[in-house]
Every structure is written in structure tokens, then in C-alpha cells.
Amino acid sequence: MNLKNEIEKKANFWLIRQKEGLTSFEQKEFELWLENNHHKKIYEENKNLIDDCLSLDDDFIKELEDEVLKDIKQKSYFSFKYIAASVAILCTIVFSGYEIKRYFIPNFTQSFVSVDEKILNIVLPDNSIIDLDKKSQIKISYYDTKRVVDLKDGNAMFSVSKDKAKPFLIKTQNTLIEVLGTKFEVINFDNKTVVNVLEGVVQVSYLSNIFKTQTLAKLEKSQSLILDNEEKIYIQEIIDTNEIATWKNDLIKFNKTSLEDASSMFERYSNNKMIFEDEKSSKLKISGKFSTLHYDSFLKSIEMIYPVKIIKDGNIIKISKK
């Protein structure tokens, strides 16, 4: 195999690995490889070719295959070079189409949007199960080589069936979560991503762009990671597994949570909007477990604990110092 073919092969390898998600070590290796201008040129050409192929439909590809075969049959003489070239073109079309479909085109897709009701027990083709909280949105895409869920907003609980050949990936803002088989919760809310592990092992990475990832941590049972997507900082902590995905039972738990954050989280379960008339009140901390079905109990608790005044004006709740 000549040098160009070797570079072509390596470029395609990187394109596939980028789509699947690079490890931190692979990312450094890829960046070093791309410093070579010849490597970069072939890589970009192949990437553009894949983008072009993805825009072709199956009928067009079939028509192109038929044209090549028809052209061969109509020739009055059969030049070996011509036949070889035609067959090569046909093989390239078929093989490229197969590889593109295998890595880049899903064989199963489905989206779910919950508004005022939870969507529980979503069973996927591999028997993985997703529970979706209120006001949450996901897009599910299954490929030949991986299973991908894009959690666009909200909270979701995952129970993933094991399949070593097809890792299960969850994307939220700038976070990539990878598992083979486990149970865990993912929260995508207000520029923060939270991962709480109930069973198994979960790898969490920071996704700066679609081609660059940085592994942050591997979480095991009872471990949690909170990532601030704006500040690009994260913290890890040990949690009580009984407190994972309490929203499935219409409960929400706060642990030294600011009133500002707590009110934002509660807005997911009601049509109320809380406004703080002074910054000090918004930074007060609250702990405890509340029913998402009883917003007024949450407000009464705030008034009992802190020297604040609550004024209701329709769906607007104003909080100020007494």
C-alpha cells in the first residue's frame, strides 16, 4: 500500500473516531497528526466527500450504479483497464455508501418532548429504557456502531442494556457521557449538566466541539458530577442513590441550594415565575424535599425559614426583604 493510501486510511479512521468520540489521548494524537499539511489536506477532502455522500439518497446511488453497469455492457470492446476502472468506481460507490451508513447514518431515530406530563418507560430497540421528566426533550439515534441520545433540555433517567460493540452516548450542551450498560440520571439545566450514577460505570467528557473531547471523570455507583458548561469547571461528590431521579415520584430535593436556583428548578413543574427584588434574597440557601405538585408548600417553607415577603401576582411570585 502506497503512502497516499495509508494517509487516506488514517484520515478515515480519524473521521470515524471523531464521530464516535475521541479519548483525551486520541485527541492529542489526532492534533499532532493533523499538523502535517499533507495529512490535513487529505483529511479535509475526505470529510467533504462524506458530507457530499450524506446528501445523496439511495435512489440516486442505485441509479449511478446502474449507469456504470449499463455503460460497460454497451462498449463494443472490453478494455481491461476500462472494466477495471468501472468496477473500481462501482465498488467505491457501494463500499463508501456502506461505510457512511454504518458510521454516520442512523438505522433508528425517534424524538420525545414532554410538556406538562412525564414520559416514563420509553423502551428502545435494544431494550434500554428512558424515563423523561416534565419539560424535557431528547432525540435518539441508533447506528451500527453506537447508540446516541441528545438530551436537549431537562432531566432523564437511563437504564442501558449492555452491548460492548455499541457504546451508549448521551450529549448535553458541552458534555459527552459514555456507558456500556448501567443506570444513571442526566440533568441538563441552566448551563449545567449533572450526572448521577445508580449502577455501573459512566465516563463523562467535556465536548468543546464535535471533534474535541476531554475526559473529566469515570463515575461509579453513588457518585455524582456537576459540570458548569459556561465556566468549564466541575465538582464530584458522593450522593444517596435513593435521591436519584426523585422527580419520577413527583419529588424534588434541595441541598443547600440557592433560592434562585431552587425557584428555577421548580418552574419546570409549574407555570409560576419567581422574581427576586434584591440579590441577597436570591442567594439564600434552602434544603429539603418538596412535592412538585404542591408549589404553595414550597412558598410557605420559604416564608417560615427566612425574613422575606412573598407577593403573588397571577403567575408571578415576587420575593423581597421584610
DSSP one-letter string for 99-159: HHHHHHS-SEEEEEEESSS-EEEEE-TTS-EEEE-TTEEEEEEE-SS-EEEEEEEEEEEEE
Return the higher-pLDDT residue of 170 and 165: 170
pLDDT of amino acid 18: 73
Q: Which domains does the chain have, with CATH numbers?
A: 3-104 (no CATH), 108-243 (2.60.120.1440), 250-321 (3.55.50.30)
C-alpha cell at 177: 457521557
Q: C-alpha distances in angstroms, 30 versus 17, 24, 39? A: 10, 10, 10
Report the C-alpha dihedral over residues 289, 293, 298, 301, rounded to 10 degrees.
-70
Share of the chain above pLDDT 90, in %: 34
pLDDT of amino acid 144: 86
Strands in the chain per DSSP E: 108-114, 119-123, 129-132, 136-142, 147-159, 168-172, 175-179, 183-189, 192-199, 202-209, 212-219, 223-228, 233-238, 251-258, 273-276, 285-291, 308-313, 316-321
As a whole number of angstroms, the longest Cα–Cα distance in the chain is 97
pLDDT of amino acid 52: 56
pLDDT in tens, 3-23: 777 887 788 778 777 766 677
146 and 167 Cβ atoms separated by less than 8 Å: yes
Average pLDDT over residues 204-223: 81
Closest CA to 272 of 302, 313, 305, 320: 313
pLDDT of amino acid 180: 73
232 and 216 Cβ atoms separated by less than 8 Å: no
